[in-house]
Amino acid sequence: MEYLKSGLKSVLGAPSPENSPSGAETVERLVDRLSSSTLLGDRRDACRALKALSRTYRIEVGVQGMDALKQILYIDKTDYEILGLSLDTLCNITNPEIFDEEVDKQESKHSIGEQFTEIFIKKQDTVSQVLKFLEEFDFRVRWSALKLLSNLLLHKSKDIQEIILESPMGISKLMDLLGDSREVIRGIEGGIVVEDCLLLMVNLLRGNYSNQYFFKEGNYIQRLTPMFQSFTKVNENKVHVLWNSQKVSNVHCMIQVIRALVVPNGSAQLVTDCQKIMKNCHLLQALCDILMIIGVPTDILAETICSVAEVIRGNAGNQEFLAYVMAPSIPPRSAIVVLLMSMGNYYAEAYLHSNNFPTGFQP
């Protein structure tokens, strides 16, 4: 806290205690400095101070500083530090959650993040500019851009979907993040940047046939297969799979991407095409393999079962494929039989533990 205070003093000066400015006045002075300063270092300091205040004085920073923060995305787009600070500040003021340190919590609970999102996307080229930052080398810039896009999608999913679809190579930029060889944290074992990217794709695909068609035609379904196959390869080498919380979150998001493409109320022809591709690229096989391995968390197992059900729903070829999948047991058994037995045992155990025994029944 003392470090933050000293930083603010260096930017604003050190007023006497009786003349200490209010939060709104402090934000106003910082925004003025961010907008008018000709020195990059001064703008960077002002932006850093605004970021520090954006969780406490979210409304003040959003109302007074939105235009200045957006301008940074254009005039200082080559400076990764101030660019990351600006994106992080925009993430805070569009965040759907209420921060513990916020001063005006009563105001914030009335969808303040959504209101700032509406202001931010009035000019579509601003969202397109954020999309361009997904191609930057700097990790912080890409991560902050993803978080901001995720916030915007949560508030205005349809509007952002259309903007991204109309932006040149918009969805391709999102998909390329997962295969970027420069990325320090990537793939199914990756961290929050992978989860953010997958969540962004899920929100883009849900209920949007244009984006789903683009995803299918861009051969992106095929890119999901190796990520699911990684579990099978590990188990074949007799290495125990560690399911940490981040890995569970990433896999959950991956499954949601699949389910968004084969949702029951989707376009019949599009769903059929996606189901066919999922079988031909061995994605259905990879999902079935996950059902057969040991140590899969219960929630992931349940989601995988649901995804397999939706991939084979109404598709005779995929249903026939599942009928011939065998569990790795001695003697071999049909995967369907094993699943039914497992579910039966689960519900029987749950029933016994509930102590709700039928009349005359003793455990």
| pLDDT at residue 18, rounded to an integer | 54
Distance CA 62, CA 92 (A): 9
Most confident of 70-84, 163-177, 317-331, 345-359: 70-84
Summarised one tens digit per residue, pLDDT across range 3-39 is 444 444 445 555 555 556 677 889 999 999 999 888 9
Give φ, ψ of 327 to 5 degrees: -80, 145
If pLDDT is split at 50, 70 and 90, which confidence band does 232 have?
A: low
Contact 183, 129 (CB under 8 A): no
| pLDDT at residue 357, rounded to an integer | 47
Summarised one tens digit per residue, pLDDT across range 109-146 is 557 888 999 999 888 788 888 888 888 877 788 888 88
Domain 206-352 is found in CATH 2.70.150.10: no
C-alpha closest to that of 31 among 65, 4, 57, 5: 65
| pLDDT at residue 86, rounded to an integer | 94
Range 304-315 average pLDDT: 91
Beta-bridge mates of residue 333: 327
| pLDDT at residue 323, rounded to an integer | 86
Distance CA 294, CA 235 (A): 9
- Is residue 360 over pLDDT 50? no
Residue with more model confidence, 184 or 339: 339
Q: 0.85 exceeded by the pTM?
A: no
Residue with more model confidence, 50 or 196: 50
| pLDDT at residue 47, rounded to an integer | 93
C-alpha closest to that of 76 among 105, 46, 101, 54: 46
Range 182-201 average pLDDT: 66
Beta-bridge mates of residue 334: 326
For a pLDDT cut of 90, what percent of the chain falls above it?
Answer: 23
* Lowest-confidence segment of 22-36, 67-81, 233-247, 263-277 by average pLDDT: 233-247
- Is residue 42 over pLDDT 70? yes
Contact 59, 113 (CB under 8 A): no
Residue-averaged pLDDT of the chain: 79
Distance CA 55, CA 203 (A): 25
- Rounded (10°) angle between helices 139-155 and 192-205: 30
Indicate the domain borders of the chain: 1-123+136-148, 206-352
